[in-house]
Structure 1
C-alpha cells in the first residue's frame, strides 16, 4: 500500500523560518550532478522549478501567521516495490501532479479549499537509507546510513500552510479532524489523505489491490480490529448498492407524470 506521512516539524525552528532547510536536504541527491542530470522540483503548473523558486513561492504565503508559527509542511508519499513495478519516473510524476492536490484537499474538513488554492512543490527521490528505527539495524543485519536495495523511489511534497488567497490555514499535523465548536473549526484527516492517495493510485494506474494490501486492512490490524472476510465485505457493498438502486427507483416513481408532448 502507499505510505503517506506528514513529517513532524523541525524541533528547533518549528518550520517557522521558511522552507530553505528542507530544500537543502532534498537537493542532496543533486550534489555533483550537471544541470541536466539534476532532479527538479515540480507541481501541477510546472515540471521544472529550482530550490530558490520553491522557497520564494512557498514562503511568501504567511499573512496573519506569527513569527513562531509553522509556515509550511512536508509530506512523504512512497509506494511498495510492487506498486512501483513497470512505472517510469515520468508516469509517477504525472500521477502526483494530477492527484496529490485532490487527495490533500479531500482530507480537509470545515473549510472550502479548492486544489488550485494550494501552493506546493514535490521532488522525486531515488534513494533511502537505513536508520536506527529499522528492523534490520536493530537486528544487526546492516548499519544505519547504509543505502537500501531495490526500487526506493518516493516523493517529498513541500506545501504552504496558508492558501493562496490567504484565507485559510491548513495543517496536516492538526489533531482536529472536524471540530465544530471552539477557536479551531474543521480540521485535517490524515487517514483520509492516505485513503485518497491509495484510491487515486489504483484508479490512475488501474492497479488491482488485494484486501490484505489495502490501507484500511492494515490500519484495522494496527488498531486491533479484526478485518472482515473479503466475501462478507463484498456482500455488504452489494447490499448498499442495491439499497441505493431501490431508493433511486422510488424517487423516480414519485416524480409527477407530465404526459406526452406532440
Structure 2
C-alpha cells in the first residue's frame, strides 16, 4: 500500500477551479460506453457526476487566499499482491476508501475529533497506469533509447542525401539495441506512454481544503504537522498526523479483508528502509523463515534498490547476499507480488 498526499498546484500559482483535475480523472472514461464507465463516489453515494464534483469543491473555498490551495489530492495505490487478495474488486476498494477516510479524518490534530462526515471528498477508481520518465524501467532503457533515436535521425539524413551510410546496417543495429534493452513487454521495448502490465488499479481522491460547513480549514499538508500553538492565551491543537494516517490505512485494509501483511509491505518498513537501512536489514533477518523468504521475493519483484553499505553485522550481510542472489533468479518467484516501497 502506498498513499500519496499532494496539494493542488499548477506551476507557481493555484487554479481557482478543480475543473482541470476532474477532467484529468475522467480520461479513462473517454472511449467507454456509459455502462462501463467509472463514476466519482463519496462517503454515501456511489455515483456523483463530474459537474457536481467541480461545483461542490469550487464552492467550498470561503476565506481561502487566492495563492492558497483549494483542495488536496490523495492517491491510494494498493500493491499487486493486495489487489490479487481482494480479486481487484472495485466494490471492495470503495469499501476500503470509505473506511480509510475515517482514518484520514481522525488523523487531524484538533481539540475535538473530526468526524468523517465533515470531510468533503470525491473519489475515483482507475485501472491503468502508463510508464513515465521517472519510472525505473524508462531510466534503465534510456541509454538504448538515446542511441536508437540518434540512429533513426541518421536514417532520415541518409534518405535526404545529407549523410552517407548503410541504411540496412543501421536498421539492424536499431533492432539489436531494442532487443538488448533490459525491459520489454510482450517482446517490445518499454517506452514512455506504454501501459504497465499486471493489476494497476488505484484510487484518486479530491479533498476540499475546507470542511463541509465551509468554515474550518483542514489541511493534511506536510507543512501542517501536528502541533500546538497559543491563541489568545489558550493552547490550540492543529495539524495532521501523516504517519498515523498511513499506518491506520494499512491496518484498515488488513482488518477488512483479513490480509496478512509482510513486514516489507508496511509503512513502518518503508520509513525504516529510507532512514535506517541497517536497522531495516537487521529486522528483516530476524523474521521467521517463511516470512523472510516471502519478503525477499517481494523486494526483488519491486526492484528495490539495495545500497552499497559496509554493514557490520553478519545477519545483515547475509540479508544482502540473499537479496543479490534473489535478484539473479527473481523470474522464478512467480508467486510473489510487487510492493510499493
Cα distance in 2 between the residues matched to 1:157 and 1:16: 18
CA distances 1:164-194 after superposition (whole Å, capped 9, x unpaired): 1233212222413122126895111222221
| Aligned-pair CA distance for 1:106 | 2.2
Partner of 1:108: 108
Cα displacement (A) at 1:200: 0.4
Matched residue pairs, number?
Answer: 232
Q: Compared with structure 1, are the counterparts of its residues 27 and 123 closer, same or farther at alpha carbon in structure 2 (3 Å cutoff)? A: same
Aligned equivalent of 2:258: 206
8 Å contact kept, 1:129–1:146? yes
Structure 2 match to 1:35: 34
Report the Cα distance in structure 1 between the residues aligned to 2:137 and 2:284, rounded to whole angstroms: 33
- Select the residue among 224, 229, 243 that pairs with 1:176: 224
> How high is the TM-score relative to the length of structure 2?
0.63
Q: Residues 72 and 3 from structure 1, CA distance in 2 versus in 1: closer, same or farther, beyond 3 angstroms?
A: same
Rate the CA distance shift 1:15–1:121 in 2: closer, same or farther, 3 A. Answer: farther
Higher Cα radius of gyration: 2
CA contact (8 A) 2:42 2:123 kept: yes
Say whether 1:197 aligns with 2:245. no
Structure 2 portions without partners, runs of 5+: 142-182, 184-189, 288-341
SS of match in other structure, 1:10:
coil
Partner Cα distance (1:49, 1:208) in 2:
34
C-alpha contact 1:106 1:192 (8 A) present in aligned 2: no
Q: How does 1:1-262 map to 2 (within 5 A)?
A: 2-12=1-11, 14-85=13-84, 86-97=87-98, 99-112=99-112, 113-140=114-141, 141=183, 142-181=190-229, 185-224=237-276, 226-227=279-280, 229=283
Question: Over aligned residue pairs, what C-alpha RMSD do you find?
Answer: 2.3
Paired residues of 2:226 and 2:240 also in contact (CA < 8 A)? yes
For 1:59 and 1:196, the matched residues in 2 are separated by 30
Preserved contact between residue 178 and residue 185 of structure 1 (Cα < 8 Å): yes
Task: Check 1:100–1:13 CA distance in 2 against 1; reply closer, same or farther (3 A cut).
Answer: farther
Helix, strand or coil at the partner of 1:120: strand
Q: How many Å apart are 1:9 and its aligned residue? A: 2.8
Alpha-carbon spacing, 1:171–1:220, altered in 2? closer, same or farther (3 Å): same
Is 1:119–1:163's contact at 8 Å kept on the other side of the alignment?
yes
How far apart are 1:80 and its partner, in Å? 0.6
Q: Is the 1:15–1:73 contact (alpha carbons within 8 Å) kept by the matching residues of 2?
A: no
2:6 & 2:65 partners in 1: Cα distance?
21
Give the TM-score taking structure 1 as reference length: 0.81
How far residue 199 of structure 1 moved from its aligned partner, in angstroms, is 0.7
Cα pair 2:7 2:71 within 8 Å, conserved: no
Please list the CA deviations of residues 42-97 of structure 1 after superposition, one character each: whole Å capped at 9, or x if unmatched: 01111001100111122211111122221111110011111001241111112212
Distance, in Å, in 1 between the alignment partners of 2:129 and 2:230 is 42
Structure-2 change in CA distance of 1:55 and 1:13 (3 Å)? farther
Q: Which moved more, 1:188-197 or 1:173-182?
A: 173-182
